[in-house]
Amino acid sequence: MEPYIHNVKFYETDKMSVTHHSNYIRWMEEARIDFLMKAGCDYRLLEKEGISSPVVSIGGKFIKATTFSDDVVISVKIRSFSGVRLEVEYEMSCGEDVVFRGESCHCFVRDDMKVVNLKKVMPDYYERLREFCGK
């Protein structure tokens, strides 16, 4: 799967001209949504069914700073997917250097916030996403 590329904007940097740490979380979301779309699992398909995928947990390790105009290449990998729970890994690189590694965990809920199993309510979506587990 092609990685997602984010070009660091000036407004994403702080007083020290370094990318503010909060942006890495936003980039994880951008890359995850892009990955889902490329995998044939567009997030909008979930929304049309009244399903969303809130973050259950999120974390990361900062390895090297990025700055204005850097191209950050974000690779996304599905660590695990049960139909109820989705665990995603992210690796961000700038040039030859890994700058950040992160992970996020999500569940799937209806608009009433009741947890759903995609295997039961959206089997085609479930099967497409299963194809990318561990890749």
Q: What is the pLDDT, as a whole number, of residue 135?
A: 62
At 1, the pLDDT band (50, 70, 90 cuts) reads confident
* Lowest mean pLDDT across 66-75, 78-87, 107-116, 125-134: 125-134
At 50, the pLDDT band (50, 70, 90 cuts) reads very high
14 has pLDDT over 80: yes
Cα–Cα distance between 52 and 100 in angstroms, integer? Answer: 26
Q: What is the pLDDT, as a whole number, of residue 96?
A: 96
39 has pLDDT over 90: yes
CATH number where 74 lies: 3.10.129.10
Query: Considering its fold, how many domains does the chain have in total?
Result: 1
Q: What is the pLDDT, as a whole number, of residue 133?
A: 86
Mean pLDDT, the chain, integer: 96
Domain range enclosing 104: 4-130
DSSP state string for 16-82: TSBB-THHHHHHHHHHHHHHHHHTT--HHHHHHTTEE--EEEEEEEE-S--BTTPEEEEEEEEEEE-
Cα 41 to Cα 29, 32, 54, 67, 126: the distances in Å are 15, 11, 16, 32, 9
The owner of tokens 């092609």 is 2
Residue 110 lies in a domain: yes
Residues in the chain: 135
Determine the average pLDDT of the residues in 32-50: 95
Residue 84 lies in a domain: yes
Lookup: tokens for 83: 């139909």
Residue 135 lies in a domain: no
At 90, the pLDDT band (50, 70, 90 cuts) reads very high
Residue 58 lies in a domain: yes
Q: Which tens digit of pLDDT belongs to each residue from 57-67? A: 999 999 999 99
Give the pTM.
0.94
Phi, psi of 129 (to 5 degrees): -70, -35
